[in-house]
Each structure stands twice: as C-alpha cells, then as structure tokens.
C-alpha cells in the first residue's frame, strides 16, 4: 500500500474492470462533482462520487466495499468492517473494527438515501453524460434501472466481486 494517496488523472479511463462505464457531470450549480459509474462483466456495479466516496456492489446488488471519509469498509458475513489506515514513517497499518448494529443501520440508511437522490437527479436531468465507454453503451439507462431495482441495500457476505 502506498504511503501517500495520489489523485487519479482520469477515473473513467483507469477503471478498466468496469467494462461499461459512464461519467456524469452535474448540470445544476448546486452539484459540484462528477460521478463515474460502471458495471463489471458479471453485472457488479461501482459508483464513484468524485474520488472520496466510492461504493462497490456485487452482481446481485449487495454492498461489498466502500471508501468514504478516508476510511475503507468491507463486507464480511453480512456485516460491515471499517478499516482505518494508520501511517508511520516505516509502514501503513490497517486496523479493523466491525460496525455495531446501530452504526451499520445508519450507514445503510445514508447510502440508500444517497442512491435514491442520485436516481432522482438522473430522472429530472440534473446530470449530462461527459463520456461513456464503450461509446453509445447506454450505461445511463442501465444505471437508472439498477438504482430503481435496488431500493434496499443488503450487505454482501464477502468483499470480493
């Protein structure tokens, strides 16, 4: 693991595991970040709200990994484990702690609200497509369908796709 986090130059270009992906840019002045969303070959979805808020789901729509507020989260047997990076001059250590049930419930409610807001913003045209890979793949409709088809967010049994 790197000692310093470097910003990505082009997330849409770098996210090659997502065989169909799209970059959405806000059209409203109150929205300030682009969103990159894409699907793996098996249908697993990843959504990047900028570089500081990232959600990865498996093929059945269960949450498997998250990067949020400088912390990593992973799914483990239906629970969420928070991993905190502790940096020293010699190494980077990951410390893990399972979220308590109330924390997990609040986390899931906040995520469901975030996804519902994205679905609403997309429905009313608050984003436009900047780029799509492959061109004309219609990832926006696929993402919209995924969001409306997954109103509840279960936690996966493992963090892998």
Q: What confidence tens digit (pLDDT) does each residue in 16-73 have?
A: 889 999 999 988 766 668 899 999 999 999 999 988 899 999 999 999 999 998 899 9
> Above 80 in pLDDT, residue 108?
yes
Structural domain includes residue 159 = no
The answer to the question of residue 69 being in a domain is yes
How many domains does one find in the chain? 1
Does any domain span residue 136? Answer: yes
155 domain residue, yes or no: no
Strands 63-68 and 53-57: antiparallel
Would you place residue 1 in the very low, low, confident or very high pLDDT band (cuts 50, 70, 90)? very low
Cis peptide before 146 (omega within 30 of 0): no
**Taking a C-beta distance cutoff of 8 angstroms, is the pair 132, 31 a contact?**
no
What does the pLDDT look like over 67-78, one tens digit per residue? 998 899 999 999
Question: Is 151 a member of any domain?
Answer: no
pLDDT at site 134:
93
For residue 53, what are the domain limits? 11-146
Reduce the DSSP state of residue 99 to 3 states and report it: coil
């Amino acid at each position: 693991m790197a000692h310093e986090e470097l910003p990505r130059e082009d997330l849409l270009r770098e996210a090659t595991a997502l065989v169909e992906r799209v970059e959405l840019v806000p059209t409203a002045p109150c929205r300030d970040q682009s969103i990159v969303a894409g699907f793996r070959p098996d249908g697993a979805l990843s959504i990047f709200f900028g570089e500081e808020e990232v959600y990865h789901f498996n093929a059945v729509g269960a949450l498997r990994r998250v990067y949020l507020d400088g912390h990593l989260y992973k799914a483990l047997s239906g629970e969420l484990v928070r991993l905190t990076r502790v940096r020293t001059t010699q190494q980077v250590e990951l410390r893990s702690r399972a979220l308590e049930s109330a924390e997990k419930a609040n986390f899931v409610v906040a995520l469901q609200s975030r996804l519902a807001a994205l679905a609403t913003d997309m429905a009313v045209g608050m984003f436009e497509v900047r780029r799509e890979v492959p061109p004309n793949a219609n990832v926006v409709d696929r993402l919209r369908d995924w969001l409306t088809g997954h109103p509840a967010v279960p936690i996966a049994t493992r963090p892998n796709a």
